[in-house]
Amino acid sequence: MQLYIGNKNYSSWSLRPWLLMTHAGIPFEEIKLRLSFAADSPFKKSLAAITPTGRVPVLVDEGFAVWDTLAIAEYLAEKYPAKQLWPAQPLARARARSLCAEMHSGFTALRSHCPMNIETSLPEIGAKVVAEQPDVVSDLARLASMWEKQFDEHGGPFLFGAFTVADAFFAPVCTRIKTYALPVPPRAAAYVEHIHSLPAMQAWTRDARAEHDFLDFDEPYRTAR
């Protein structure tokens, strides 16, 4: 299988299936493309042959393309049942899917005001965003209450006890909390640290920091040096 991804510093959608597969020990070839919106860019040209969306991530299995993180997660869970990528218990599984769907279509204020940017540290921007953007504060409150309920029910250290798709889906948010020093309660902060301590996550963040590829359209707060 090949997994097409974007810049590791910026591509939050790419991180989800990459972390899922790497942490679960599912073998794949990584194909990294430099993110771009321009129609004539290598990014768009490479993807044109593979996916009608022109977006990453895309998983290609023996020439068959699966795009969109939710679809990729479901495909992998069906292909590798022994990996238990979703919780085994039906209600827990349904809840995990609810959380992933909520992440997939929600948290828009947090996502737009605090885009993923692993290589940098912007605590002063985080403080300003929290002071000026009540929707971001609401997103953070929802995250904290969601995660705490999961820890109450499943005991941690992951959202459903053991690592599942849900943890992969919230990993980019964990990086945002770190980059922007966003305030979250202690158990949520401990979860952020736990996700960052995973060897697969450390590998991704190491690669992200080594990229040194400044993309203006993903940088609302910094200018190129």
Ligand X SMILES: N[C@@H](CCC(=O)N[C@@H](CS)C(=O)NCC(=O)O)C(=O)O
Enumerate binding residues for ligand X (CB under 6 A).
6, 11-14, 35, 37, 54-57, 68-69
Q: Which residue is nearest to ligand X (CB)?
A: 55
Nearest approach, Cβ of 71 to ligand X (angstroms)?
8
Q: Whose Cβ is closer to ligand X: residue 201's or residue 215's? A: 215
Task: Find the shortest distance in angstroms from Cβ 98 to ligand X.
Answer: 16
Our CB check for ligand X shows the closer of 39 and 131 to be 39
| Nearest residue (CB) to ligand X, 37 versus 123 | 37
Nearer to ligand X, 39 or 88 (CB): 39
Of 130 and 168, CB closest to ligand X = 168
The identity of residue 77, as a single letter, is: A
Residues 99 and 145: their CA atoms lie apart, in Å, by 12
Q: Which residue has the tokens 């895309």?
A: 58
**Considering the complex, what minimum distance in angstroms separates the CB of residue 44 from ligand X?**
7
First to last CA, the chain: 37
User: Residue 31 to residues 14, 82, 171, 177: CA-CA distances in angstroms?
Assistant: 11, 26, 20, 27
Closer residue to ligand X (CB): 87 or 115: 115
DSSP three-state, residue 115: coil
Minimum distance from residue 186 beta carbon to ligand X (Å): 30
Sheet holding 58-61, edge to edge: 29-32, 2-5, 58-61, 64-67
Which residues is 60 bridged to in the sheet?
2, 65
* Residue ranges in 88-164 assigned as alpha helix (H): 90-105, 108-113, 123-132, 134-154
Distance CA 3, CA 57 (A): 7
- Minimum CB–partner distance for residue 73 and ligand X (Å): 9
Q: Angle at the Cα of 66 (from 61 to 71), degrees rounded to 5?
A: 125
Question: What 3-state DSSP class applies to 7?
Answer: coil
| Shortest Å, Cβ 92 to ligand X | 22
